[in-house]
Amino acid sequence: MLVLEEGAPRCLGCADLGHLVFLPRGDTALTRRSREESALSAVVVRFNRRRGRYERQGVLVEEAGLARAERRCLADAEARRRRRVRDARRRAVQDVRFAEAFAAEIRRLFPGCPDDRARDIAGHASVRGSGRVGRSAAGRALSERAVTSAVVASVRHLDTPYDQLLMSGVPRHEARRRIAAVVEATLRGWRTEEVGEGKGEVADVLSGPV
């Protein structure tokens, strides 16, 4: 680990952080309390090249502060466990309802799409924390473009040789161009009637970053 100061890297010792200990991310209560108990702390991030952004890895805190935070967490561990269980159940119910609503919107836009396929697409697109289109703001709002993007992605991967083209070294944009006609034909078959502006939106989505 290093610290960037005025664009130059410094080791933790040179940055006066060498006495701190690393606490990996994962335990929200322990992280929060460790920072509360430490006079000095620092967030540790790592650059994710694939996503093009920094992602949090944990924190550096004082060892004594971490020990005090651990004692606080042990004192109310059972209460927090029960709360986590309640929260998990609530989120599970919300996720099921959202996936059902997403599938219903797919069937509305694409009445020819088989019910089990619509459920599979909705379930895949709406996984919490996945970063997929169903968890975007547009996806949560069940916008036509977001729902269509999820359907296009499913058709692309399951009904065309898109994945094989990528594995053979074909560039992504070229692979999408090659299978675009098959995707369009499949979507057309799933629409038993034209849906106004939807046809234009499908053309836009086909070239989008799904």
Distances (CA, A) of 3 to 40, 48, 59, 75: 15, 17, 13, 35
Locate tokens 């929260």: which residue?
A: 87
DSSP string covering 103-129, please? HHHHHHH-TTS-HHHHHHHHHHHT-TT
pLDDT tens-place string over residues 69-87: 999 999 998 998 898 899 9
pLDDT tens profile 37-58: 999 999 999 988 888 888 999 9
Assigned domain for 89 exists: no
Same domain, 68 and 118: no
pLDDT at 51: 83
Q: What is the pLDDT of residue 193?
A: 52
pLDDT digits (tens, 9 = 90+) for 117-160: 999 999 998 888 777 877 888 888 888 999 999 999 999 999 99
* 3-state SS assignment for residue 164: helix
Using left for φ > 0, alpha for ψ between -120 and 50, and beta otherwise, residue 38 falls in beta
The whole-chain average pLDDT of the chain stands at 87
pLDDT at residue number 149: 92
Residue 45, beta-bridge partner list: 56
Domain edge (last residue) among 27, 47, 75: 75
Residues 33 and 112 both lie in one domain: no
Residue 86 lies in a domain: no
Distance from C-alpha of 21 to C-alpha of 199, rounded to nearest angstrom: 56
Give me the domain span that covers residue 66.
2-75
d(CA 152, CA 170): 19
Which two structure tokens, joined as six digits, stand for 42? 């620092």
Task: Copy the structure tokens of residue 32.
Answer: 């929060």
In a domain, 90, yes or no: no
In a domain, 81, yes or no: no
Q: Which residues contact 56 (CB under 8 A, 6 or more apart)?
A: 25, 43, 44, 45
Inter-residue contact 128 to 102 (CB < 8 Å) = no
Tokens in use for 136?
């975007």
Q: How confident is the model at residue 200 (pLDDT cuts 50, 70, 90)?
A: very low
Residue 34 located in a structural domain: yes
Task: Look at residue 206 in the predicted model and tell me its pLDDT.
Answer: 55
The DSSP secondary-structure symbol of 40 reads S
pTM exceeding 0.85: no
Q: Give the pLDDT band of residue 4 (cuts 50, 70, 90).
A: confident
171: pLDDT confidence band, cut at 50, 70 and 90? very high
Please report which confidence band the pLDDT of residue 12 belongs to, taking 50, 70 and 90 as the band edges.
confident
- Could you tell me if 197 and 108 lie in one domain? yes
Residues 128 and 71 in one domain: no
Residues 103 and 198 in one domain: yes
- Same domain? For 60 and 137 the reply is no
> How many structural domains compose the chain?
2
Residue 39 pLDDT: 93
Are 29 and 120 found together in one domain? no
